[in-house]
Chains A and B, each alone.
Chain A
Amino acid sequence: MSKRSGQKRRQLRFEIFRFNPEDPESTPHIQCYRLDETPYLSLYLALNQIREQQDASLQFDFCCRSAICGSCAMMVNGRPLLACRTLTKDLPERIQLHPLPAFALIGDLSVDTGSWFSAMNQRVAAWIHEQHPFDPDAPEEPMNDDLAQAIYEGDRCIECGCCVAGCGIANVKPEFYGAAGLNRIARFMIDPRDRRETCDWFEVVSSEEGVFGCVGLMACQDICPRNLPLLEVHAYLRRRMLAGRRC
């Protein structure tokens, strides 16, 4: 840091998409803000500084500010990213911010990922369909730790929406589950606590909304902030479905 202090500090130019649907006078437009770059400046800090010092009406979503809650995904120079962990030092001076596409706009950079994911989870019935009711007096069923870790791997999705925003199909076909939805399905498929068989999953997964709706661009794999193995997930689901409706 001390080495860099001799260098001239950058002045950043933020070009931010603005639209407030609750304001009849508001129209979609790009608004510019300038901010002096400071060491370790993240988009979380930068956007809050802009709101608190320049434009109090600016809407965006942050919650945990530690890249685990999935609230703050946005398009940063055309790429979906978690804003809280994006440092300005890794970006050019000109920083264009847009809300995620494929989700309903709430205002400015804020989008309704919550409703999208809740609906998707309902459609794919993303909960354990247990084999038997819970017995509070029984010890837990043993599970091999490698399997537990494999389930955890898929469970790590934070529903930030980056994979959906970056998906060529999800952007034109709202009913497509997206990589997040397919990953969720695979997570329950490999879980022995779930009683659903291949034939139960067949209609859900093999439709155009499911894995066969994907044309294999695999931007999701490149974009996922959690580095989920989405390519493997797609391959796994196709393999399972090719085995057919056997039950």
Chain B
Amino acid sequence: MEHVETTDVLVIGGGLAGERCAMEAASAGQDVVILSIVPPRRSHSCAAQGGMQAALGNCLMARGDSPDIHYLDTVRGSDWGVDQEVARIFAEEAPVAVRELAHFGVPWTRLRPGKNTSFIQGRRVELDEPQSKAGLIMQRDFGGTAKWRACYAAAGTGHAVLYAMDSQVIRLGINVRDRMEAVSLIHEGGRCWGAVARCLRTGRHRAFFARATVIATGGYGRIYGQYTTNATINEGTGAAVALDTGIVPLGNMEAIQFHPTGLVPSGILVTEACRGDGGYLLDRKLQRFMVAAEPEKQELASRDVVSRHMMQCMKDGRGVETPFGRHLWLDLRHLGERHLDSKLREVRDICRDFAGLDPAKDLIPVRPTQHYSMGGVRVDKDGQAYGMAGLFAVGEAACWDMHGFNRLGGNSLAETIVAGRIVGRSVSGFAAGSSLSVDTELALGCVRDAEERSRSWLARTGTGPCVYEIRDAIAETMVNKVGIFREGKELQLAVAELWKHLARIDQAVLRSKAPGMNPELSFALRIKGMARLALVTAMGALARTESRGAHFRVDYPLRDDASWLKRTLVRWHRDAAGPEFSYEPVGMIDVPPGERGYGSAARIEMTVPVAEYNSRVAAEQQLQGRHGTSEPTGSRMKWGAATGNKPPHDTVGGMDE
């Protein structure tokens, strides 16, 4: 039994979503183990800079804000790709989540009464904040939102929130195992029983047998290699082990967000708060191009829209040419030293350290860079993975799905905490209601399989390709052919190339046979999963013959609500040669598809009435493997509350279960 540990709840991933979920389960009395590939405080959550969206409505520019408006912004931002009920649940709970973090010690920037200088749509304005709101949590502007809503701690919001959350995990005595990587799920007959983990100190394997298992491993941005803002650890390992089960589907993998302002050439994130606080995007002649492109929102349209305008601007010859490729400028000089040193100090640090410049005096070279994975392990509103009992997913690793085809800035940090709370409750309820009969043979069998995979890598000899070379080839294919502007022929080429890269992995040979964790072996054990994720991303993009949010097809430039108001699902059955795609309705519709208020307004209209669409949702999702949820589909919707539309009466209330 020395290779098998047991626990009530196993959380794979020690970032914000995983820790908040673990905390909820531990507070309910469950034994919880967190596996984390790095010490939790080094998780990529710490890199979130600008803010966390929650409709607190404290400052003048946030006045009148409400969960209704946050919900509407989120649906519009997603280009109607979200599950609207999930977006509603999220918007309602976000303010409580932010206040709870204040309780846990997050030093939120607070409202300063009196004159506050700001830049709005290129104009300097003085906002006279009332004494009555002094000291409440402050908000700043972000893209695609009707109100100032992003709560923040300078430009280190993710860091501050992660440290507060991890302090609670330490306080609760949760068993955190760092440098442990889940390499496969233990499952049998559609029931998940934990995971096999590989120790990144020793290279040894161990089974964690659990009543409930949660995937919280973040995104898969590293399939774009160095062309991402993501940390080196965001390799999609959680999505990959879910795909490996052959049963659990991944949702909307082609929905990849490019952030407008990745620093050139390193690709490090420069927060959207720079533009929220009044920063400009400039072309090589130092002209603001976003004013003409988006007269209403200007630099603060949604990320997909701004990124496309930037790419077009560079295609039109207005970019700055450098040995590291083309870029545009981000201008913060007018914000002043005091603002940069207080509210954007981390941006100033990053510019100094990685570009040798000072944003108070210099322009910042930026270009759109892969940033966020809207897709992930497909789960229902309780966080349960489709097709597998006892398996949950939360945060960026999941496709819950409150982001659809474009996530709004500040909504991801908010998702980690809100979803962590909700999924944590559902996980502990599930664990409490299920018995644990440890099947040592099943667990040890999975350990042996994992050990065998390591052994077979080490046993390979010859002159095959190196795993890093394949990684780079995958990245080149993804960034050149599955990027911001996508096109059928290019995507076909991408799929063909990715099949070749995938096949070459079987010929790859390790350069080092060193015992222990062996960094090359550690990476080799992930590369096939990454190649598969890249392939299903490209295939999903090829199949989706429309443009929605971040998925833009030059050959199908319109959003097509007649044919594509649906979510892509992909499974890779065991022993199957390739993936299998299917589709489901996005969820019940309360806000009918319409204009976003930025980007192109042209689209193909829905052909079926909303009520009819809604009537099919529950049954069609169940066919795709959705379990029964704690409450029926649509039960948390506040029909018509945000739109003033009459509720479609035949869709109110329960449709299933």
A→B interface (CB under 8 Å): 1, 20-23, 39-40, 51-52, 55-59, 61-71, 85, 106-107, 112-115, 117-118, 121-122, 125-128, 130, 134, 136, 138-145, 148-149, 151-152, 155-156, 158-159, 188, 191, 193-194
Q: A63-B233, A127-B167 are in contact. Are A193 and B512 (CB under 8 A)?
A: no
Q: A22-B202, A66-B354, A67-B350 are in contact. Are A139 and B136 (CB under 8 A)?
A: yes
Q: A106-B201, A114-B178, A139-B136 are in contact. Are A70 and B42 (CB under 8 A)?
A: yes
Q: A113-B39, A117-B41, A155-B163 are in contact. Are A142 and B110 (CB under 8 A)?
A: yes
Q: A66-B269, A118-B176, A155-B107 are in contact. Are A20 and B39 (CB under 8 A)?
A: no
Contact A65 B516 (CB under 8 A): no
Contact B135 A58 (CB under 8 A): no
Who on chain B is nearest to A160 by CB?
B42
| Residues of the A chain whose Cβ atoms lie less than 8 Å from the Cβ of B156 | 68, 152, 156
Contact A68 B46 (CB under 8 A): yes
Q: A57-B518, A65-B268, A143-B135 are in contact. Are A152 and B232 (CB under 8 A)?
A: no
We find that the number of chain B residues with CB closer than 8 angstroms to chain A is: 70
23 A-B pairs, CB-CB below 8 angstroms? Answer: A22-B516, A23-B515, A40-B265, A63-B42, A64-B42, A64-B44, A64-B232, A65-B268, A67-B350, A67-B353, A67-B354, A69-B47, A71-B42, A117-B39, A134-B100, A139-B136, A143-B135, A145-B112, A145-B135, A149-B109, A152-B153, A191-B107, A194-B105
Contact A63 B265 (CB under 8 A): no
Who on chain A is nearest to B163 by CB?
A155
Contact B170 A127 (CB under 8 A): yes
Contact of B170 among A67, A85, A121 (CB under 8 A): A121
In whole angstroms, how far apart are the Cα atoms of A131 and B516 in the complex?
Answer: 47
- 13 further A-B contacts with Cβ under 8 Å, apart from A143-B135, A194-B105, are A57-B520, A62-B232, A63-B38, A63-B44, A63-B232, A136-B100, A140-B108, A143-B108, A144-B110, A149-B107, A149-B154, A149-B342, A152-B154
Q: What is the minimal beta-carbon distance from B401 to any residue of chain A, in angstroms?
A: 25
In whole angstroms, how far apart are the Cα atoms of A10 and B49 in the complex?
Answer: 36
Contact A126 B167 (CB under 8 A): yes
In whole angstroms, how far apart are the Cα atoms of A230 and B112 in the complex?
Answer: 27
Contact A56 B519 (CB under 8 A): yes
In whole angstroms, how far apart are the Cα atoms of A125 and B202 in the complex?
Answer: 30
In whole angstroms, how far apart are the Cα atoms of A156 and B49 in the complex?
Answer: 12
In whole angstroms, how far apart are the Cα atoms of A17 and B268 in the complex?
Answer: 29
| Residues of the A chain whose Cβ atoms lie less than 8 Å from the Cβ of B353 | 66-67, 85
Contact A69 B112 (CB under 8 A): no
Q: What is the minimal beta-carbon distance from A42 to any residue of chain B, in angstroms?
A: 8
| Residues of the B chain whose Cβ atoms lie less than 8 Å from the Cβ of A193 | 102-103, 105
Q: What is the minimal beta-carbon distance from A49 to any residue of chain B, in angstroms?
A: 10
| Residues of the B chain whose Cβ atoms lie less than 8 Å from the Cβ of A117 | 39, 41
In whole angstroms, how far apart are the Cα atoms of A67 and B346 in the complex?
Answer: 10
Contact B39 A118 (CB under 8 A): yes
In whole angstroms, how far apart are the Cα atoms of A128 and B104 in the complex?
Answer: 6
B→A interface (CB under 8 Å): 38-39, 41-44, 46-47, 96, 98-100, 102-105, 107-112, 134-138, 153-154, 156, 159-160, 163-164, 167-168, 170-171, 176, 178-179, 201-203, 231-233, 265-266, 268-269, 323, 342, 346, 349-350, 353-354, 466, 468, 510-512, 514-520
Q: A128-B104, A148-B110, A152-B153 are in contact. Are A139 and B516 (CB under 8 A)?
A: no
Q: What is the minimal beta-carbon distance from B486 to any residue of chain A, in angstroms?
A: 28
In whole angstroms, how far apart are the Cα atoms of A67 and B159 in the complex?
Answer: 12
| Residues of the A chain whose Cβ atoms lie less than 8 Å from the Cβ of B233 | 63
| Residues of the B chain whose Cβ atoms lie less than 8 Å from the Cβ of A141 | 102
Which 10 pairs, one residue from A and one from B, show the smallest C-beta to C-beta distance?
A22-B516, A142-B135, A114-B39, A56-B512, A127-B167, A56-B511, A128-B105, A57-B512, A145-B110, A57-B514
Q: What is the minimal beta-carbon distance from A217 to any residue of chain B, in angstroms?
A: 26
| Residues of the B chain whose Cβ atoms lie less than 8 Å from the Cβ of A62 | 232
In whole angstroms, how far apart are the Cα atoms of A194 and B154 in the complex?
Answer: 22
Q: What is the minimal beta-carbon distance from A207 to any residue of chain B, in angstroms?
A: 21
Who on chain B is nearest to A39 by CB?
B323
Contact A55 B512 (CB under 8 A): yes
Q: A1-B323, A71-B38, A159-B41 are in contact. Are A52 and B105 (CB under 8 A)?
A: no
Contact of B203 among A22, A127, A152 (CB under 8 A): A22
Contact of A64 among B137, B231, B349 (CB under 8 A): B231
In whole angstroms, how far apart are the Cα atoms of A122 and B108 in the complex?
Answer: 24
| Residues of the B chain whose Cβ atoms lie less than 8 Å from the Cβ of A188 | 105
| Residues of the B chain whose Cβ atoms lie less than 8 Å from the Cβ of A51 | 519-520
Q: What is the minimal beta-carbon distance from B14 to any residue of chain A, in angstroms?
A: 10
| Residues of the A chain whose Cβ atoms lie less than 8 Å from the Cβ of B203 | 22
| Residues of the A chain whose Cβ atoms lie less than 8 Å from the Cβ of B350 | 66-67
Q: A64-B231, A121-B170 are in contact. Are A52 and B466 (CB under 8 A)?
A: yes
In whole angstroms, how far apart are the Cα atoms of A159 and B47 in the complex?
Answer: 14
Who on chain B is nearest to A134 by CB?
B103
| Residues of the A chain whose Cβ atoms lie less than 8 Å from the Cβ of B468 | 52
Q: What is the minimal beta-carbon distance from A121 to any residue of chain B, in angstroms?
A: 5
Who on chain A is nearest to B105 by CB?
A128
| Residues of the A chain whose Cβ atoms lie less than 8 Å from the Cβ of B514 | 20, 23, 56-57
Q: A117-B39, A127-B105, A134-B103 are in contact. Are A58 and B46 (CB under 8 A)?
A: no
| Most chain A beta carbons < 10 A, residue from B41, B138, B160, B170 | B41
Contact A65 B231 (CB under 8 A): yes
Q: What is the minimal beta-carbon distance from B466 to any residue of chain A, in angstroms?
A: 7
In whole angstroms, how far apart are the Cα atoms of A130 and B171 in the complex?
Answer: 12
| Most chain B beta carbons < 10 A, residue from A39, A57, A70 | A57
Contact B518 A136 (CB under 8 A): no
| Residues of the A chain whose Cβ atoms lie less than 8 Å from the Cβ of B265 | 40
In whole angstroms, how far apart are the Cα atoms of A65 and B42 in the complex?
Answer: 11
In whole angstroms, how far apart are the Cα atoms of A55 and B269 in the complex?
Answer: 30
